[in-house]
Structure 1
């Protein structure tokens, strides 16, 4: 899989990344460590060398699982992890980074990201300048190679960029959730900031495997996701039916089609979560699906069956 340059940094990442929120187990049901390790390894062997995790995923458990899966090939992979909103004071950022380095069994992190803006989840409001000063210090030390942000608006991204180079934005982005296109994407394109989309399959909705009436375990984070509810879910089913012939024409699954669409968007990459090795292999194959301009336009129109009716103020 051909790698792409991350922003203006010297880091290169794969267009599809392995997502490991599930590997942390917290907020997910039925996840086993052995399967997570096998899945992360299978993704690597299929060509996905970039893996995304975070300190908050199972309080470091996800990072430790990544290390178990990939430590022996550390020189061939790229680690992206995140510092959470409650650790954004200068000394907290330094301490969190050191914990992540230990969890990942490495002496450097390729991409270190602010997981959410300060103040999120009732966290303390810390000036972005203070947080960026800590990240710049870590970068000078060689502990991190590039700085990214996640869940930032255009305004927040602009402010953070005043205090240092931001090479990536990690937004919620999929064919069924496209707010970033209205907000931060034009700024990212102008300033060569990579877009690394999380939930590119709309938490599994774009796989087409969820039928009407599906009920999630209340411990599953998707139980309250409004894309799975009411008219939004009905419109999603209509869109999926229109996407199926395109997927069949390209001899790929709906999930692979959705990933291929996303990584064809300007400067965009997709984080695809995995539980099992078969999923990892299938995700990697999406990078070889070649969509024409006509395909992309057709998919765009179909996606708007869902997105034209969404209230983007809140997902859950």
Structure 2
């Protein structure tokens, strides 16, 4: 798979990235470690060499599973992990990074990201200067190679960039969720900051496998996703029906079409999760789907059937913490 530079760093990432939230098991159902490990190896075998995780995914379990799956090829893969909003003070960042290094069984993390801005989920407010100071120190020590932020608005990204080089932004971004285009994307393009999109398949909605009236099992975080509710969900079904002929013309799946559209956007790369080896192999194939400029415009317009009716809230889920 063709690789791209991460921001201005020396790190090379694949445009399709394996996401590992589900590997942590918390807020997911029906996840088995053995299947996850097989999926991670299948991703590597299919040419995906970039893996995104976080300390909060199962309180380190996702990181540990990643290490189990890929320790023998560590020098050939890129690890991206994150420090959560409850660990943004200087000493907390340093300790969190050391825990992640231990979980990942490595002496460096390629990309280390602030998972949510200070104050998120009722956590204490910590000045971004303090958090960035810790991240810069970790970079100086060689424990991390690049700094990124996740779920930051343009103004928050600009503020963080005053205190050190930011090489990536990880926002929710898909054909059905496009707030970043109006907010931070122009700044990222101007400053060569890679966009690493999460929920790039709208948590599976863009695969087309969920039909009208679908109900999630108890404990599945998607039950709280705005896109799976009411009129948003019905509009998504309308859009998917219009996308199917385009996918068929390329002999690809709806998921592959959605990922191909996303990685064709400015600075954009797509994180895609997978429960098993078959799903991850399918995701990897999206990198070879080439869309014409006319097709990109048509897909863009179809996506707006959904996005033009969404509110301006930055969070995709209606969580009650």
**TM-score, shorter chain, exceeding 0.5:** yes
1:194 Cα deviation from its structure 2 partner: 0.3
Q: CA deviation at 1:110?
A: 0.4
Q: Tell me the residue number matched to 1:117.
A: 117
Take 2:219 and 2:209, find their aligned partners in 1: how far apart are those partners?
20
1:166-315 equivalences under 5 Å are 166-313=166-313, 314-315=315-316
C-alpha deviation, 1:218, in angstroms: 2.6
Aligned-residue RMSD, C-alpha:
0.6
Quick one: distance in 1 between partners of 2:258 and 2:150?
21
1:62 corresponds to: 62
Distance, in Å, in 1 between the alignment partners of 2:193 and 2:71 is 28
Write the distance in 2 (CA, Å) between the matches of 1:59 and 1:278.
27
* 1:138 has 2:138 as partner: yes
Q: Which residue of 2 aligns with 1:93?
A: 93
TM superposition outliers: structure 1 runs of 4+ over 4 Å: none
Match for residue 83 of structure 1?
A: 83
Structure 2: stretches of 5+ with no match in the other structure: none
- Aligned partner of residue 163 in structure 2, secondary structure: coil
Q: Distance in 1 between matches of 2:68 and 2:260?
A: 29
Question: What SS does the aligned partner of 2:270 have?
Answer: strand
2:299 is paired with a residue of what secondary structure?
Answer: helix
Distance 1:268 1:49 in 2: 16
Structure 1 residue 217, shift from structure 2 partner: 1.4
Instruction: Give the structure 2 partner of residue 27 of structure 1.
Output: 27
Aligned-partner Cα distance in 1 for 2:104–2:185? 31
Q: So what's the TM-score if we normalise by structure 1?
A: 0.99
Note the alpha carbon deviations across 1:42-66, whole angstroms, 9 max, x for none. Answer: 0010000000000000000000000
Q: Secondary structure of 1:187's partner? A: helix
For each residue in 1:177-235, what CA deviation from the matched residue of structure 2 results, as whole angstroms up to 9, or x when unmatched?
00000100000000000000000000000000000110011310011212111111111
How far apart are the structure 2 equivalents of 1:280 and 1:208?
A: 16
SS in 2 for 1:57: coil
State how far apart, in whole Å, the 2-side matches of 1:114 and 1:70 are: 23
TM-superposed deviation, 1:312 = 2.8
- TM-score scaled by length of structure 2: 0.98
Shift in Å, 1:237: 0.5
Q: Does 1:8 align with 2:8?
A: yes
> For each residue in 1:20-75, what CA deviation from the matched residue of structure 2 results, as whole angstroms up to 9, or x when unmatched?
00000000000000000000110010000000000000000000000000000001
Tell me the distance in 2 between the aligned counterparts of 1:224 and 1:118.
23
Unaligned runs of 5+ in 1: none
Q: Which moved more, 1:215-224 or 1:108-117?
A: 215-224
